[in-house]
Amino acid sequence: MSDTTAGLLQVGLLIAALAACYRPLGAYMARVYESEHDTRAERVLYRVMGVDSKADQRWPSYARALLAFSAVSVLSLYAFQRLQAHLPMNLGFPGVAPDQAFNTATSFVSNTNWQSYSGESTMGHLVQMSGLAVQNFVSAAVGMAVAVALIRGFVRSRTDRLGNFWVDLVRSSLRILLPISVVGAITLVALGAVQNFSSGTKVSTLAGESQTITGGPVASQEAIKELGTNGGGFYNANSAHPFENPNPFSNLLEIFLLLLIPVCLTYTFGRMVKDKRQGYALLAAMTVLWGAILAGISILEANHPGTALNLAGASMEGKETRFGVAASSLFATSTTGTSTGAVNSFHDSFTALGGGLTIFNMGLGEVAPGGVGSGLYGMLVLAIVTVFVAGLMVGRTPEYLRKKITPREIKLVSLNILIMPVLALAGTGLAMGLPKPKESILNPGPHGLSEVLYAFMSAGNNNGSAFAGLSVNTGFYNTALGLIMLAVRFVPIVLVLALAGSLARQQPVPATAGTLPTHRTLFVGMLVGVIIVVAGLTFFPALALGPLAEGL
């Protein structure tokens, strides 16, 4: 079977599996967030936290609770890493350096999971599973909570209440993420992933040398790393490591897990707003973008343009032979489109234009289909921009889901869209212009710019994957990327919650003959066009100087 045929078969199986789960999981998540009943375990947690689960919060209260929880998470994870040497199961590793501990804490709490360290030689088992893996759950749950709060903003009227952050957080973690992760971890173990508490096994290499291979609770972290669109690998090689991703079957399962919730949340959205067609429209836009990027990367990698690659006969540098070009392209498209950051190949070794497409995919704003929760609310923000543009064309006040889009909403949406590119491009400019950060660039020229741009785009979109080839474990990069990860995660969240509060206070307006139908092909096409134009106008100059210059 050729690599292309195998790739098409994998795409078909992946789409079939997602289609089979779409309605059942989407409907289940809607019931979880609409239910008025708490489980016994949840009631115990609420009593411990001192939370009234029946209290409905205004958007400022919802935002304050979210920010307070995230701030405590950053501080506790930072302390966890710094005190590692004094904790059980530390494997003899010292405490993590201050700048790296800050970077890692902000990375995992912001659902970015950018790593400037090698997991198997830096983090002990306790920090991995009780610090990093726990944040994989709750950071994903935070994104889901924000998405649900925005949906309530569309559903509710003449109120300033969006629900209860603590209830949304707990239900997302216990009722959705945890059960699926357990099944995913058991399946990965059955497929060959490692799950133990071994401090390492000494083996003899083919050269006759001795090497220690570190084990650990890998499969359990791998499952939530993909499901929660986190991406932080137990090992430095991430999902290219055979202990994390043993074979093509586990590879397809991991791609399925990272796409599962972002895709199914569109059905949850349609069901909660009482119009499933709206969810189908958002899914269609996500699918068009995902499919187009996948086709582009696959074609570029399969044709392997370039003298060296043509002589080699394939663009297999940086790719695992057990996956091949097609599966690597599928993983790269899905991970850069879902703010996951997990990789089964090194994007730095992709063809110049193929690597450029991974950067452009992140530049779309992580909405194809985007991260857990963040993909949905990011797409809804762009849907509002689309109806605003359509309203300008016909000269009437734009509406979306029977809510008027007033100047207040447009200001919030505009700020939301601007924060990521401003910080990502400004960070890239500083890194290229300051003398000390330039020392981290090992590949001068257009490729070096691509590596730096990728790093700041990854941090600026809470993605977490890396181009490699760039020395980022420095004071500048650890601090700058950490600050950007915090800003682009929580500033947009506050703006989205303010948008939800503004929408919830409105009285729904009746649909008229002049109302733009937001569930039809025309709207889907306009939405895709707006996303591409916004990303293209913003990032084309930087892409032209980096991957395009190198590729052409």
pLDDT per position as a tens digit, 349-407: 898 899 999 999 999 999 999 999 999 999 999 999 999 999 888 777 789 999 999 99
Query: In this model, does residue 465 exceed pLDDT 70?
Result: yes
Residue 308: predicted pLDDT: 54
Helix (H) or strand (E) holding 204: strand 201-204
* CA atoms of 543 and 96, how far apart (whole Å): 35
Residue 468: predicted pLDDT: 76
For 479-515, b/e burial (b = at least 16 CB within 10 A) is ebbbbbbbbbbbebbbbbbbbbbbbbbbebeeeeeee
Residue 280: predicted pLDDT: 98
* CA atoms of 70 and 14, how far apart (whole Å): 34
- At 425, list the tokens: 């491009």
Residue 36: predicted pLDDT: 92
Residue 442: predicted pLDDT: 84
Residue 438: predicted pLDDT: 87
Helices (DSSP H) in 123-214: which residue ranges? 125-126, 133-155, 165-171, 178-191
Instruction: Please say whether the beta carbons of 362 and 336 come within 8 A.
Output: yes
Residues in CB range of 90: below 8 A, 6 or more apart: 84, 124, 126, 127
Question: In 205-282, where do the E strands start and end?
Answer: 210-213
* CA atoms of 65 and 134, how far apart (whole Å): 18
Give the pLDDT band (50/70/90) at residue 201.
confident
* CA atoms of 39 and 262, how far apart (whole Å): 25
Residue 324: predicted pLDDT: 87
Residue 344: predicted pLDDT: 92
Instruction: Please say whether the beta carbons of 338 and 259 come within 8 A.
Output: yes
- Over residues 496-548, the pLDDT tens digits come to 999 999 999 999 988 887 788 999 999 999 999 999 998 888 899 999 998 98
Query: In this model, does residue 309 exceed pLDDT 70?
Result: no
Nearest in space to 197 (alpha carbons), one of 132, 124, 95: 124
- Of the two residues 206 and 231, the one the predictor is more confident about is 231
Task: Give DSSP secondary structure letters for 16-59.
Answer: HHHHHHHHHHHHHHHHHHH-----HHHHHHHHHHT--TTPPPBH
Torsion, Cα of 543, 545, 548, 550 (10° steps):
-140
Nearest in space to 57 (alpha carbons), one of 48, 47, 43, 68: 68
Residue 399: predicted pLDDT: 92
Share of the chain above pLDDT 70, in %: 98
Residue 305: predicted pLDDT: 61
Least confident of 161-165, 474-478, 511-515: 511-515
* CA atoms of 372 and 145, how far apart (whole Å): 10
* CA atoms of 38 and 227, how far apart (whole Å): 24
Residue 306: predicted pLDDT: 60
Instruction: Determine the average pLDDT of the residues in 304-314.
Output: 58
Least confident of 46-55, 205-214, 485-494: 205-214
Residue 311: predicted pLDDT: 53
How far apart, in Å, are the Cα atoms of 508 and each of 135, 376, 387, 511, 513?
A: 38, 22, 16, 9, 16
* CA atoms of 449 and 539, how far apart (whole Å): 13
Give the pLDDT band (50/70/90) at residue 481.
very high
Share of the chain above pLDDT 90, in %: 77
Instruction: Please say whether the beta carbons of 321 and 419 come within 8 A.
Output: no
Q: What are phi and psi of 345, to 5 degrees?
A: -155, 160
Residues in CB range of 221: below 8 A, 6 or more apart: 128, 129, 132, 133, 136, 232, 234
Query: In this model, does residue 423 exceed pLDDT 80?
Result: yes
Q: Which of 58-72, 304-318, 461-475 has the highest mean pLDDT?
A: 58-72
Q: With the C-alpha atoms ordered 397, 403, 408, 414, is the resulting torsion angle positive or negative?
A: negative
Residue 66: predicted pLDDT: 98
Instruction: Please say whether the beta carbons of 400 and 392 come within 8 A.
Output: no
Instruction: Please say whether the beta carbons of 224 and 206 come within 8 A.
Output: no
- Over residues 101-148, the pLDDT tens digits come to 999 999 999 999 999 998 888 999 999 999 999 999 999 999 999 999
Residue 314: predicted pLDDT: 63
Half-sphere exposure of 245 (CA within 13 A, CB side): 30
- At 419, list the tokens: 């924060």
Query: In this model, does residue 328 exceed pLDDT 90?
Result: yes
Residue 198: predicted pLDDT: 87
* CA atoms of 523 and 518, how far apart (whole Å): 5
- Whether residue 179 is preceded by a cis peptide bond, meaning omega within 30 degrees of 0, is no
Nearest in space to 83 (alpha carbons), one of 71, 95, 99: 95
Mean pLDDT across the chain: 92
For 221-239, b/e burial (b = at least 16 CB within 10 A) is bbbbbbbbbbbbbbbebbb
Residue 466: predicted pLDDT: 87
Give the pLDDT band (50/70/90) at residue 313.
low
* CA atoms of 183 and 186, how far apart (whole Å): 5
3-state SS assignment for residue 203: strand
Instruction: Determine the average pLDDT of the residues in 426-448.
Output: 90
pTM > 0.85: yes or no: yes
Query: In this model, does residue 158 exceed pLDDT 80?
Result: yes
3-state SS assignment for residue 73: helix
Residue 321: predicted pLDDT: 86
